Structure 1
Amino acid sequence: MRTGALSRFTILDATRVRAGPTAVRVFADQGARVIKLEIPPGAPGGDDMIGGREHNRADYENLHRNKESLTLNMKAPEGLAILHALVRQADVFIENYRPDVKYRLGIGPDQLRAINPRLVYASISGFGQDGPYANWPGFDSIAQGMGGLMSVTGRPGEGPMRVGIPLADLCAGHFCAQGILAALLEREVSGEGQWVQTSLLESQIAMLDFQAAQWLIDRKVPQQHGNEHPLTVPTGVFKTADGYLNLAAIGNTMWRRLCEALDVPELAADPELGNDPQRCAQRERVNGAIGAAFLKRSTAEWTERLLAAGVPCGPIHSVDHVFTDPQVQHLGIAWPMRHPELGEVSVVGQPFRLSRNPRQAEPTPAPHQGDQTDAILRELGYDDARIAELRAAVVV
């Protein structure tokens, strides 16, 4: 029996690569039944994109846990009939094809909601469902560039820099999940589903946040500042006696506390460094002075000293050290999973928890392609003979 806050919902997952599976994973981790629709082996249009099992097993397991897999050729009339039967029982259908593809397949929002008016239909695209760029292929790095993120990432003068994670993909997925949840809540009032849309480009722009506001409100074009905050000094990465430390001494109160902890009271007393605009104007001087002080102690010593003084700071971990950090282990965001082939592994958990609806005790491994095809078809009333015929015809 399924448990979790969303266990009453059934999600049909027609997504691939990353943004769509990221959205679907929110529901799968909270107990929803997720049926992943995959192209049958031998059918035209098979998926050889990054994110498939053959490209990166760890990535695939992390993205597609807690799902069932049904192979289905939606280009075949019999396959479309199976999809329609699933839609009648589903709450959500989510896809991230190029905008025109769903209409050519006959599975657009109006077509599927005509079968089930309560269906919430969700679409993720690169650039939106219409407009001059609607049919451009959407990839994370392209959205990072067009959405402004690369122009404010990296050090001044070194050219645009991509962020080290697929941020546009991930944010589009999470924003899509938020939109689906909003539509499901609204359905409780109206009794009807609706079409939820987001795109990599919109999601990336939304994540610019205060950087976008600098332009929209103040008409200032944000620039690159490397590891430093563009509006307050000192922040960023400083070398210590044995490594590096991340500092966020934001505002005048933090500035005075920092100077005291670093034993450089003359900086706090300098009237030319009394506020953020003044310190920003003399960024190199400020960073040079406190940088010299940081070289006198280890990262651990400075972390303890600054935190005692109420100055936000912390070490900079490599990914392996992230998961050995005591606080990270206490939070339990690495979810243990028993895998029949890989053994005892962990996946990256969701960064929220519900007090009355804890997650399922252990995630289930990502399914092999078509693992649950026969079982799902039997639920829909197909007998073994008919399933064999559908397999022979490469419908499933």
Structure 2
Amino acid sequence: MNNILDGLKVIDCTQILAGPFCTMMLGDMGADIIKIEKPNGGDDIRRFGPPFIDGESAAFLMINRNKKSLALNMKDPKGLKILTDLIKNADVFIQNFRPGSLEKMGLGFDDVINKINPKIIYCSISGFGTTGPYKDRPGFDLIAQGMSGLMSLTGTPNGDPVKIGVPICDLNAGSYAAMGILAAYIKRLKTNKGQFVETSLLESGLSYTIWESGIYFATKEISSQSGTAHRLSAPYQAFKTNDGYINIGAANQPNWEKLCHAINKPEFITKEEYLDNSSRMNNIDQLVKLLNEEFELRTTSEWVEILISAGVPCGPILNMHEVLNHEQIKDRETVIDLNHTKLGKIQNLSFPIKFSDNPQSLKLPPPLLGEHNDEILKDLGYSDKEISELKSESVITQSN
């Protein structure tokens, strides 16, 4: 069965997380991804760890399936020619170099679209974007989380700034990049013209502050940490139980009333302090105190059973062992097995979008450094002798 993006050729000059996450998603939908890596060590994330599995970074393995690896010295004229030839025959070129770096090599957008491939979709992911006073600054997820306001919003009230537990700016930038590439590709199918697509870690983080920016635009009030609580609706947060915590999502009036009946407190429904959402938000501290007193009377599992039976949205807070072995995750086949060239069977998280007619593509496991050098170069017309010379000149390299 064909995959949705079969035939889409992508040259990937990104490393670490945002770009590789983007291209893995494209590869999961069937695109052909050629990952260009530095000849000396490859993608920096190959050295992120521990943990390592027989010398291979677990982090690298999670975001680089469905890609072929070419370990290429782009600074060598022969290496630059190889990359140029690959771009010439590609649909998409994606890079996360600091703005201006590739222009010095003749691989900026204007050079590529005017001299190499007029139909190319050229995507750039950077810390701060390709314009503005911060365009030349290096960008990392932690920096973007801080500057986007996210760390000022995360954590318990009056606490220290807290980084979100996952690299949300990197991952979100990768998702936005994939969305932009596909939108540009649809446009190109109509016009036969390529275009420049860019996103940044800073903007990708800021774009998630929908409530907090909305509050500021409306009132100039600066939002701060609120723990697990919602800024605009109550009760919608975690509550302590007899043996842990439970998340309650009684975010609208019907669910609030169901909750009151489920905990045997129907009188809360008509109590003036909790009559509607605005009243509950104005009296949130008192409401949380009363609800915690109720939830601490039973275990999390007991409350989940009671509340689900009553139609109240709720759920436990799971750790990674619990979620990765959860019955719902197993049924959805969210954990998948891959056969790695060196390691044998490894596990990954599957692509979280399911299509009725086109299944997720699991064509390739995460590659070894330079694993596909010969295959890629032969497709470009290089002979065995020429490939051997490129190896001896360190234009291409390969892991042992």
- TM-score with structure 1 setting the length: 0.94
Counterpart amino acid of 2:46? G
Separation in 2, partners of 1:343, 1:321: 25
Q: Percent identity?
A: 40
Deviating above 4 A after TM superposition, structure 1's stretches of 4 or more consecutive aligned residues are none
Residue 174 of structure 1 pairs with residue 202 of structure 2: no
Separation in 2, partners of 1:274, 1:265: 12
Once the two structures are superposed, residues 276-305 of structure 1 have per-residue CA deviations (whole angstroms, 9 ceiling, x without a partner) of 222222222111111111122221121121
Specify the SS of the correspondent of 2:208.
Answer: helix
Structure 2 contact 16–43 (Cα < 8 Å) conserved: no
Structure 2 contact 48–59 (Cα < 8 Å) conserved: no
User: What's the counterpart of residue 190 of structure 1?
Assistant: 191
Once the two structures are superposed, residues 106-143 of structure 1 have per-residue CA deviations (whole angstroms, 9 ceiling, x without a partner) of 21111122211111110000001021000111000110
User: What's the counterpart of residue 285 of structure 2?
Assistant: 284
Separation in 1, partners of 2:38, 2:231: 47
Separation in 1, partners of 2:259, 2:122: 52
Separation in 2, partners of 1:321, 1:200: 31
Separation in 2, partners of 1:35, 1:338: 19
Range 125-134 or range 79-88, more displaced: 79-88
Q: Note closer, same or farther for the CA distance 1:193–1:89 as it changes in structure 2 (3 Å cut).
A: same
Separation in 1, partners of 2:329, 2:63: 20
Residue 65 of structure 1 pairs with residue 84 of structure 2: no
Separation in 2, partners of 1:288, 1:14: 52
1:48, distance to aligned residue in structure 2 (A): 7.2
Residue 394 of structure 1 pairs with residue 391 of structure 2: no
1:200, distance to aligned residue in structure 2 (A): 0.2
Separation in 1, partners of 2:31, 2:232: 43
Separation in 1, partners of 2:340, 2:80: 33
Separation in 2, partners of 1:238, 1:29: 38
Residue 85 of structure 1 pairs with residue 79 of structure 2: no
User: What's the counterpart of residue 54 of structure 2?
Assistant: none
Separation in 1, partners of 2:232, 2:273: 17
Range 372-381 or range 176-185, more displaced: 372-381
1:161, distance to aligned residue in structure 2 (A): 1.1
Separation in 2, partners of 1:112, 1:395: 22
Separation in 2, partners of 1:148, 1:170: 17
Separation in 2, partners of 1:58, 1:3: 30
Residue 137 of structure 1 pairs with residue 138 of structure 2: yes
User: What's the counterpart of residue 6 of structure 1?
Assistant: 5
Range 217-226 or range 52-61, more displaced: 52-61
Counterpart amino acid of 2:78? E
1:266, distance to aligned residue in structure 2 (A): 2.6
1:342, distance to aligned residue in structure 2 (A): 3.2
Separation in 1, partners of 2:64, 2:43: 16
Counterparts in 2 of 1:1-396, with a 5 A limit? 3-41=2-40, 49=44, 51-53=45-47, 55=49, 57-113=57-113, 114-360=115-361, 362=362, 364-396=364-396
Q: Note closer, same or farther for the CA distance 1:247–1:319 as it changes in structure 2 (3 Å cut).
A: same
Separation in 1, partners of 2:274, 2:131: 50
Structure 2 contact 339–365 (Cα < 8 Å) conserved: yes
Separation in 1, partners of 2:48, 2:252: 49
Specify the SS of the correspondent of 2:102.
Answer: helix
Range 280-289 or range 118-127, more displaced: 280-289
Once the two structures are superposed, residues 337-368 of structure 1 have per-residue CA deviations (whole angstroms, 9 ceiling, x without a partner) of 123443333201111111111113x4522111
Specify the SS of the correspondent of 2:179.
Answer: helix
Separation in 2, partners of 1:48, 1:307: 46
Once the two structures are superposed, residues 305-346 of structure 1 have per-residue CA deviations (whole angstroms, 9 ceiling, x without a partner) of 111222110011001100221111111111221234433332
Specify the SS of the correspondent of 1:155.
Answer: coil
Specify the SS of the correspondent of 1:70.
Answer: strand
Structure 2 contact 95–123 (Cα < 8 Å) conserved: yes
Structure 1 contact 259–267 (Cα < 8 Å) conserved: yes
Specify the SS of the correspondent of 1:337.
Answer: strand
Separation in 2, partners of 1:95, 1:48: 13
Counterpart amino acid of 1:245? I
Number of aligned residue pairs:
389
Counterpart amino acid of 2:80? L
Range 275-284 or range 193-202, more displaced: 275-284
Structure 2 contact 377–387 (Cα < 8 Å) conserved: yes
1:218, distance to aligned residue in structure 2 (A): 3.7
Counterpart amino acid of 1:240? T
Range 5-14 or range 265-274, more displaced: 265-274
- TM-score with structure 2 setting the length: 0.93
Structure 2 contact 37–43 (Cα < 8 Å) conserved: no
1:267, distance to aligned residue in structure 2 (A): 2.0
Structure 1 contact 337–363 (Cα < 8 Å) conserved: no
Separation in 1, partners of 2:380, 2:174: 30
